[in-house]
Amino acid sequence: MTHPASTFASAVQDGDELAVLHELFATFPSRAEYLLPLLHQVQARVGFVSHAATRAIAAHFNLSRAEVHGVVTFYHDFRDAPVGDTVVQLCMAEACRAVGCVDLEAHLAARRGAPLGEVIPKQRWHAEATYCLGNCALGPSLRIGETVYGRVTPERLDALLATHLGANTPGANAPSADTRNGGSAS
Amino acid sequence: MSAASVWRVHVPSDTAAASVGADEVAEAVARWTASHSGSGLALHRNGSRGAAWLEPLLEIDTPKGRLGFAQLSSADVPALLDQLSVELGRSDTPGLAHARCIGLVDEHPWFRMQQRLMFARAGRIDPLSIDEYRDTGGLAGLQRALQFDQSGIVQEVIDSGLRGRGGAAFPTGIKWRTVQQAAAASKYVVCNADEGDSGTFADRLLMEADPFRLIEGMVIAGLAVGAQQGYVYLRSEYPRTIRTFDAALQAARNAGLLGPRVLDSPHAFDIELRVGAGAYICGEETALLESLEGRRGQVRSKPPLPAIAGLFGCPTIINNVLTLAAVPDVLAQGAAHYAGFGVDRSRGTMPFQLAGNVAQGGLVELPFGITLRELIETFAGGTRSGRALRAVQVGGPLGAYLPSSQWDTPLGYEHFAGIGAMLGHGGIVLFDDTVNLGAMAQFAMEFCAIESCGKCTPCRIGSTRGVEVIQKLRRGENLRANWDLLGELCETMEFGSLCAMGGLTPLPVRSIMTHFTADLLAPSPADSRADAVASPDLVAEEVA
């Protein structure tokens, strides 16, 4: 049996929630075991799982809205509101703590002007903690989109943000020169 | 050089190697070979050998074996390949004088001192080439399994002494026998690839370097119990692993390793890849089954065991990646060969993972029985920071923090249980003398609060209370009362939780209470950072 998601060829534009949902409903069997694979697709293509989507998905699987909402809110990967196009995840687990990810967390929060995990409305990018990217001998580790980076220093973090977000980046709250110098000195 | 000889230039495609620039190195190699047609050099992507500290590790075939060039950057590539292409015809070991050359990789001490069974092939082959897999001994275990009946396969696994490598160390063959003997129309084989423990990356490495080994192990498991469908539950934090393993499944189907007639036998078996969604608890086997069925990853009560009523209520083998990946060797070499490695009731080899503040981090596969100190002194090369090593956490976020007085413990399941610790999935995280273990104890509780599935009160509420109590201790508030409260809380979590998440979160906390007391009682006092300051007397004095 082939995983439906791996053979999935899209005919509709990502982001058009209703069209994406209808396409997915035609692809995934309506058995509840396909709820997570479907939610991953919705998340990847729309960016979040809206309340309207929850209602439609519940109907497709013959589940209650509460059950689908329960699943969406249980798993860290699924979001019920948009957070921005680019998600930056900093590993905050033990092996990365042993090599200074707590300092990087402060640096990243300063670049964003908000603590990790806090959603900044209309921000283009989001930053949050994750717990283990499986790169524990080469920490601190960072994930941007589908790519994992190792041995991340504040300088490398700044360079990666510039690469992924564009030159004149980090977001609404441009960091002061002090922040940058403070980060690189630590 | 004759046009016929092609010298392969191997660049790992693995997550860790890529995290420090392996893809850029590979692109540089491809650019160089494209502009030097007739050079005799060709890019070959292998998996990683697991020496993360040497990555990106470029290897080149020579008549004497593979020569390695470590910690290479893409900028180093053109000059290196220029040099290699000139020396190739003239020398058996071209490039030996290069600054980044580490000599013949197989003879490098860091590899030579290991005893690799499960990871013997990792880094040597293209992970997606089933021909290279077969040429290096792959499928021999399955071929032999096809000559046995179900009980015969199960007996081999029992006799090998193989125990679950995910952390619980349950005898694998006994679990298989239970599933084999259960009468049911459908049975399943589920691979737990939700490797969430910090400090562990062996599952990921294996699935990216030698994925057919896992597939072969699952097929053998299916034969052993009469299951026709397998699932791999792989965590979403491993995007590259998802791509590699998905491609490996497709290649296995194309080669007839999976499908309605496995290797032209009458047996059917296929595997579906399912991706997790960022919940640590789904590494717990019953939560994983819930998740596979499309629900919140909440732990189930046992009994019934998954072996009796697992996925969709059917008898289910659920094993960790490394457990299933050990099976092809057990079948190919025979149970006695595998059982010949190890110590006491810990048989075979274990892939230990050196992580955290470590100079020479990566995967070290050895028979059980070496002491933690020997392992660290032989392979770790000290801390990456160059400072003194202070504490070692073994077994992931639910494992104990060990002071140097405990490092002479042999790495075996019972030996670690005997000192109030656990081997878990073999993750070994090093911390230098700047660590504040009071902060790590607090984090252990914070992590439990974030990742608790919420089913049991001791875990759901206890973890949050644990954070609060540890914060008070670290602020110096009401030490005696809060110290006792923390001890009681740990006991409640240990005995009142359904699964290992709530039941074992106290393990790291208690180890810090016992061995690093001063860190908990004051905010990082520089003068208290000596090992083994712990004693009830000290607490009594401080709180008197």
Task: Give the DSSP H/E element, type plus range, for residue A68.
Answer: helix A65-74
User: pTM for the whole thing?
Assistant: 0.93
Q: How large is the average pLDDT for residues B34-47?
A: 94
In this structure, what token pair is assigned to residue B81? 């390949």
Closest listed residue to residue B453, CA positions, set B268, B252, B279: B279
Q: Give percent above pLDDT 90 in chain B.
A: 90
Query: Number of A:B CB contacts under 8 A?
Result: 171
- The pLDDT score that the predictor gives to residue B528 is 43
Q: Do residues B327 and A107 make contact, with C-beta atoms less than 8 angstroms apart? A: no
* Closest partner CB to B201 (pick from A96, A134, A149): A134
CB pair distance less than 8 Å for B357 and A76: no
Using N-to-C axis directions, what is the helix angle for B437-451 and B506-515, rounded to 10°? 170
CB pair distance less than 8 Å for B393 and A94: yes
Q: How large is the average pLDDT for residues B490-503?
A: 96
Give the model's confidence band at A15: pLDDT under 50 very low, under 70 low, under 90 confident, else very high: low
* Closest partner CB to A132 (pick from B196, B293, B430): B196
Give the model's confidence band at A11: pLDDT under 50 very low, under 70 low, under 90 confident, else very high: low
- Of B1-15, B48-62, B251-265, B297-311, the poorest mean pLDDT is in B1-15
Question: If you write DSSP's letter for every residue of B201-248 in order, what string do you get?
Answer: -HHHHHHHH-HHHHHHHHHHHHHHHT--EEEEEE-TT-HHHHHHHHHH
Task: Give the DSSP H/E element, type plus range, for residue B480.
Answer: helix B479-496
Q: Tell me the shortest Cα–Cα distance from A148 to chain B, in angstroms.
A: 5
Q: Do residues B232 and B142 make contact, with C-beta atoms less than 8 angstroms apart? A: no
Q: Give percent above pLDDT 70 in chain B.
A: 95
Q: How large is the average pLDDT for residues A105-134?
A: 95
Q: Tell me the shortest Cα–Cα distance from A175 to chain B, in angstroms.
A: 26
- Tell me the CA end-to-end span of chain B in Å, nearest whole number: 82
Which of chain B's residues have a Cβ under 8 Å away from the Cβ of A141? 19
Classify residue B244 as exposed, middle or buried by CB count within 10 Å of its CB (0-12, 13-18, 19+).
Answer: buried
Closest listed residue to residue B362, CA positions, set B113, B137, B77: B113
* Closest partner CB to B198 (pick from A3, A67, A132): A132
Q: How large is the average pLDDT for residues B148-166?
A: 97
Using N-to-C axis directions, what is the helix angle for B150-160 and B172-181, rounded to 10°? 160
CB pair distance less than 8 Å for A137 and B19: no
Cα(B142)–Cα(B138) distance, integer angstroms: 9
Closest listed residue to residue B351, CA positions, set B377, B320, B381, B382: B320
Preceding omega of A29 cis (within 30 degrees of 0): no
Q: Do residues B347 and B339 make contact, with C-beta atoms less than 8 angstroms apart? A: yes
Would residue B520 be called left, alpha or beta, if left means φ above 0 and alpha means ψ between -120 and 50 degrees? alpha
CB pair distance less than 8 Å for A135 and B16: yes
Residue B214 φ then ψ, to 5°: -65, -45
- pLDDT tens digits, residue range B315-330? 999 999 999 999 999 9
Which of chain B's residues have a Cβ under 8 Å away from the Cβ of A95? 198-199, 355-356, 427, 429
Instruction: Estimate the share of chain B in helix, then strand, then coil, as percent rounded to the nearest 5.
Output: 45, 15, 40
CB pair distance less than 8 Å for A77 and B277: yes
Q: Tell me the shortest Cα–Cα distance from B87 to chain A, in angstroms.
A: 33
Q: How many CB atoms lie within 10 A of CB B351?
A: 27
Of residues B167 and A79, more confidence is placed in A79
What is the CA angle B217-B220-B226, rounded to 5?
A: 135
- The pLDDT score that the predictor gives to residue A13 is 63
In this structure, what token pair is assigned to residue B17? 């190697």
Cα(B81)–Cα(B74) distance, integer angstroms: 11
Q: What is the mean pLDDT of chain B?
A: 94
Q: How large is the average pLDDT for residues A97-116?
A: 96
R_g (Cα) of chain B, nearest Å: 25
- The pLDDT score that the predictor gives to residue A66 is 97
Cα(B457)–Cα(B485) distance, integer angstroms: 17
CB pair distance less than 8 Å for B240 and A78: no
In this structure, what token pair is assigned to residue A152? 């991340």
Cα(B462)–Cα(B453) distance, integer angstroms: 13
Q: Are strands B65-69 and B101-104 parallel, antiparallel or unpaired?
A: antiparallel
In this structure, what token pair is assigned to residue B485? 């409260």
What three-state secondary structure class fits B530?
coil
Q: How many CB atoms lie within 10 A of CB B371?
A: 16
Q: Are strands A86-91 and A142-144 parallel, antiparallel or unpaired?
A: antiparallel
The A residues from 145 to 174 touching B (CB cutoff 8 Å) are: 146-151
- pLDDT tens digits, residue range A44-78? 999 999 999 999 999 999 999 999 999 999 999 99
CA dihedral A71, A75, A81, A82 (to 10 degrees): -140
Question: If you write DSSP's letter for every residue of B81-113 in order, what string do you get?
Answer: HHHHHHHTTT-SSTTTTSTTEEEEGGGSHHHHT
Which of chain B's residues have a Cβ under 8 Å away from the Cβ of A34? 294
B273: which strand partners?
B232
B-chain residue closest to A146, CA distance:
B239
CB pair distance less than 8 Å for A76 and B361: no
Cα(B512)–Cα(B507) distance, integer angstroms: 9
A-chain residue closest to B19, CA distance:
A149
- Taking the Cβ of residue A70 and every Cβ of chain B, the question of whether any pair is shorter than 8 Å is answered with yes
Give the model's confidence band at A122: pLDDT under 50 very low, under 70 low, under 90 confident, else very high: confident
- The pLDDT score that the predictor gives to residue A10 is 52
- The pLDDT score that the predictor gives to residue A169 is 53
CB pair distance less than 8 Å for B356 and A98: yes
